[in-house]
Amino acid sequence: MKYSKVPESQKIYQYRLKLDQQGHIGQGRITSPALALERLERSCAVDKLMDSGQHGRQGLGFKSKFRKVDPRRELIERFRKEAEEKRLIILHKYEMQSSWLFWGLNQMMASDNSWSTLLFQYSQRLLKFMVNAQLNTLPTPDNLRRWNLSKDSVCGLCAEKLVALSHVLAGCPWVRTVENKLQREDRFTWRHNNVLYLLASVIQGHLDYANKRKVVAPKNQLIRFIKAGQTHRPQLRRTTCSVIEEASDWVLDFDLPEWRLAGSAYVFPHEICATPLKIDGHIISRAARVCFGLELTCQMEENIEKWHQSKLRKYDTEISFEVRKMAGGSIVSSLRVGTEFCRPSSSTTWSHGCELDM
């Protein structure tokens, strides 16, 4: 009605706005559409002023050109953004079901948990577990006591009291001290090796395809300077080749039982670096003098960044230094996968840099 071409509609809007500003909103109403519209328009105007700073290679006094957007569409997007912010504020007030906001909001939710992935790639049991794990509604001992289904919140393996979800998925000491000494794999190692085996299979398929292709020589991207008085002419963006395309002798190996013969052990190549450390996997091209070291971390999302940095420091002090000195170049990457089936953005960044779609 405010932007209507009919004068009577505009007069009705102004009359309604004047009453709302005086406090005559109406019985049973918290706010009014007229006041909400005025507030959203002021917010959009402030955003345009904040984004109009000087940037780029243009001189002072250059006027930025804003992309024309339909005012109605702009106000709707602004209203949705504010509604989402209010929803997150309410979620942060929850004591139990808000833990996923600290590790999943900015890193994993937008990329991994898309509707296509949830609907077509997850089984019903996996989807049910993932949703309940994120909301902390799994039948863990502490939840069973809270729901009056069990009197004691005791771990069935180590008999520790007051056991929560993090203890069950990645913190039981009985697994580290007792089950780890048995002949078979403990449950934490089994989960780690299953994720690592999946990654190794995908990487092996990409490297087999790369070894059959023709080697692409890297091109030096030089900076094109412009003389005084000349104008910049935009050029077509050149496609750069990845590191995988620069060689055809890629060899990979992983610390997995499925990749080992009976009686053999996994050892990092001594010609690259003589070290007793056992990194989870490595990819080597001796022709290109490049070595990728891969280390997988499967921890709770709350502690995954801590162990990620710890492993980077562990391997960077010895393996990465020796490889740079002997082979000419190396990349030691620590891939992180949470116990609640969410993958941080660091794994995506590494795989895209090597042109591996994972």
What is the reported pLDDT for 297? 81
Query: What does the pLDDT read at residue 208?
Result: 92
Whether the per-residue pLDDT at 311 is higher than 60: the answer is: yes
Comparing C-alpha atoms, which of 206, 210, 198, 166 is closest to residue 343?
Answer: 198
> What average pLDDT does this structure show over 322-338?
55
- The predicted pLDDT at position 299 comes to 74
What pLDDT is attached to residue 254?
Answer: 92
Is residue 180 very low, low, confident or very high in pLDDT (cuts 50, 70, 90)? confident
Q: What is the pLDDT of residues 121-130, one digit of tens each?
A: 778 888 888 8
At 62 the three-state DSSP class reads coil
Full-model pTM: 0.63
Q: What is the pLDDT of residue 334?
A: 53
H/E stretch holding 336 reads: strand 330-338
Q: How confident is the model at residue 101 (pLDDT cuts 50, 70, 90)?
A: low
pLDDT in tens, 132-170: 887 788 998 888 888 888 888 888 899 888 888 888 888
Residue 121 is predicted with a pLDDT of: 76
pLDDT band with cut points at 50, 70 and 90 for residue 52: low
Higher pLDDT among residues 270 and 322, named by residue: 270
What pLDDT sits at residue 345?
47
What pLDDT digit, counting tens, does each position of 196-229 carry?
Answer: 999 999 999 999 998 998 887 766 666 777 777 7
Q: Six-digit token pair at 115? A: 């509707």
DSSP secondary structure string, 156-213?
A: TTT--BS--HHHHHHT-HHHHHTGGGSSSPPHHHHHHHHHHHHHHHHHHHHHHHHHHS
Burial class (CB in 10 A: 0-12, 13-18, 19+), 16: middle
Q: What is the mean pLDDT of the chain?
A: 75
User: What percentage of the chain carries pLDDT values higher than 70?
Assistant: 70
